[in-house]
Amino acid sequence: MRFAQIVMGPAGTGKSTYCSYLEKHAQVTNRAIRVVNLDPAAEKFEYEPLADVRNLIQVEDVMEDEELKLGPNGALLYCMNYLMDNLESWLLPEIGEEYDGDYIIFDCPGQIELYTHMDLMKRFVKQLEQWSFRVCGIFAIDAHFLTDGTKFIAGSLVALSTMVNLEIPHMNLLTKMDLLSKSDRKNIERFLEPDAHDLLQEEAETPWNAKFLKLSEALGKVLDDYSLVKFVPLDIRKSSNMENILLIADMVMGVSEDADVKVKDFEEPENEEESEGGRDLDREFTNYLEGLNVRD
Ligand SMILES: Nc1nc2c(ncn2[C@@H]2O[C@H](COP(=O)(O)OP(=O)(O)OP(=O)(O)O)[C@@H](O)[C@H]2O)c(=O)[nH]1
């Protein structure tokens, strides 16, 4: 059995940063986790890829093809199609056929249509499953886009369409928590265990929201009733956040059956004392992150 996280989400939400952080976390905690870049338009990332789709095909080359005449988005979709047609011949040799128990993170492009309604990623998941992978979808959303009730409904619906389209265990990451102000950070707690009705009532004052409140409420009720969408915060300064995310992914993929998961641990680092096996993991991460190109 092999394990995989497929890291998806809109452009710039922090997918590659999460992958770099996870790779480092794995090194520090002695877990064998490797990252594969599946973004043929990637300019730069900080991890050491196990495989890189740009060695197979690149968006720039496709755009230069005079017969195809494709712009950036069309070229990306062309590349992803090409990748799906070459999974057996290119990807499998790159990641190896005979490993057991290994764990691979696939860093995907930021084109949202790949996840919400196209079948390319679905084909990818099916292929991984045929190669004995258990797969977990990780959908990254920037925490700044989840600061009120209407944004919550919108973000949840995108996450939900990805979940429904791919039909795999799924986790939503709230990225860039470190960039939120203290009050926004406190505020966002409401969205981790959300009650869509309460959240939307706060928004009802504007004419636009009042007009569409019924629709939003109906959507919120679906989310509430079926507990369809939950968000897990990621503050990249904190190794404990990373550990929680890994534990959840482990549980949904059946890596570890009895893991104890905390999902709300995103207080300021200075408020907490953390000691993991005598090592100051947060300090190790801080040192590591100083070397990464992470925005302040
Ligand atoms: N402070 C902070 N910056 C972040 C975080 N995640 C990403 N960034 C920054 O946000 C920008 C985009 O991050 P990426 O990791 O490249 O985002 P991506 O989702 O892979 O982007 P695409 O490849 O374009 O889809 C970079 O400048 C990162 O340094 C975070 O958690 N905290």
In the chain, which residues have pLDDT < 50?
258-269, 271-279, 288-289, 291-296
Residue at 24 is within a domain:
yes
The pLDDT of residue 194 = 66
Q: 238 is written with which tokens?
A: 């904190």
The pLDDT of residue 274 = 45
Considering just the CA atoms, what is the radius of gyration of the chain in Å? Answer: 20
Residue at 216 is within a domain:
no
State whether the beta carbon of 11 lies less than 6 angstroms from ligand 1. Answer: yes
The pLDDT of residue 150 = 75
Strands 103-107 and 170-175, bridge-based pairing: unpaired
Residue at 211 is within a domain:
no
What residue numbers bound the domain in which 180 lies? 2-195+228-291
The pLDDT of residue 201 = 65
Residue at 186 is within a domain:
yes
**Separation of alpha carbons 280 and 274, rounded Å:** 7
Residue at 106 is within a domain:
yes
CB burial of 262-286 (b: ≥16 within 10 Å; e: otherwise) equals ebeebeebeeeeeeeeeeebbebbe
For ligand 1, the distance from its centroid to the CA atom of residue 191, given in whole angstroms, is 22
Residue at 209 is within a domain:
no
- Residue 279 is given by DSSP the state B
CATH number of residue 178's parent domain = 3.40.50.300
The pLDDT of residue 276 = 45
ipTM of the complex: 0.97
The pLDDT of residue 263 = 45
For ligand 1, the distance from its centroid to the CA atom of residue 156, given in whole angstroms, is 20
| SS3 per residue for 114-150 | HHHCCCHHHHHHHHHHHCCEEEEEEEEEEHHHCCCHH
Nearest atom in ligand 1 to the alpha carbon of residue 11 is 25
Nearest atom in ligand 1 to the alpha carbon of residue 234 is 31
Nearest atom in ligand 1 to the alpha carbon of residue 9 is 19
Q: How many domains does the chain have?
A: 1
Residue at 296 is within a domain:
no
- Residue 4 is given by DSSP the state E
State whether the beta carbon of 16 lies less than 6 angstroms from ligand 1. Answer: yes
State whether the beta carbon of 20 lies less than 6 angstroms from ligand 1. Answer: no
The pLDDT of residue 292 = 43
Q: CB count, 10 Å around CB of 240? A: 18
